[in-house]
Amino acid sequence: MPEKLNDVVEKAIKPALAMLPARMRSRESVVMLLAIGLQESLFMYRRQMGNGPARGWWQFEKMGGVAGVMQHRSSRDLAQDICVARGVARLRSEVFINTVYQKLESDDVLAAAFARLLLWTDPKPLPALNDIDNAWQLYLRTWRPGAYTRGAGEQKAELRKKWGQSYAQAMQEISKCSA
């Protein structure tokens, strides 16, 4: 059963954002995190397709999003601080990445923080609320969904349609809460 979006905000997103600098906390960031989580896992699956390579509600792959966040100059120091705060000890780079990757499946706060950090690595600012097209472009740039990049026209159209639904749900949720 999917998690209630309010529970995702209260139990995962808000605690994650509280560990990050104030400039990274906004209603826009909450909307993006909700929309991406809905797009990726519907907040139902913490492991891609039951046993696939991606982990956590935001579906991070080890050498994709996890390594990217941990190595990008704009996110690596914050990522390490968050890992320590969430009980992930600093180890050799390769082992550290693997440890974080495994923990994303069971630590929703860590997963939400990494999702926000991945968005932070994009050079453009977060899209304004209700700017669904720029939000979609940000999602494509940062998550690089394989089903889209390798998909045919019909599959791409379905994913874009799903994004519209995910984003609308996220906007509906943010209108009910103060973030």
Q: What is the pLDDT of residue 52?
A: 75
Q: What is the pLDDT of residue 146?
A: 76
Instruction: State how many domains the chain has.
Output: 1
Q: By C-alpha distance, which of 17, 29, 27, 1 is closest to 108?
A: 17
Each residue's pLDDT expressed in tens, for the chain with a length of 179 residues: 457 999 999 999 999 999 999 999 999 999 999 999 999 999 998 888 766 789 999 999 888 889 999 999 999 999 999 999 999 877 666 678 889 999 999 999 999 999 999 999 999 999 999 999 999 999 999 998 877 777 788 888 999 999 999 999 999 999 886 54
- Dist CA 158 CA 62 (whole Å): 26
Domain housing 22: 5-176
Q: What is the pLDDT of residue 47?
A: 86
Q: What is the pLDDT of residue 178?
A: 52
Q: How many angstroms separate the first and last alpha carbons of the chain?
A: 25
- Dist CA 42 CA 111 (whole Å): 14
Q: What is the pLDDT of residue 153?
A: 85
Q: What is the pLDDT of residue 170?
A: 97
Residues facing 60 on adjacent strands: 55
Do residues 39 and 163 make contact, with C-beta atoms less than 8 angstroms apart? yes
Q: What is the pLDDT of residue 91?
A: 62
Q: What is the pLDDT of residue 1?
A: 45
- Dist CA 63 CA 174 (whole Å): 31
Task: List all residues 6 or more positions away from 94 whose beta carbon is below 8 Å from its beta carbon.
Answer: none
Q: What is the pLDDT of residue 179?
A: 43
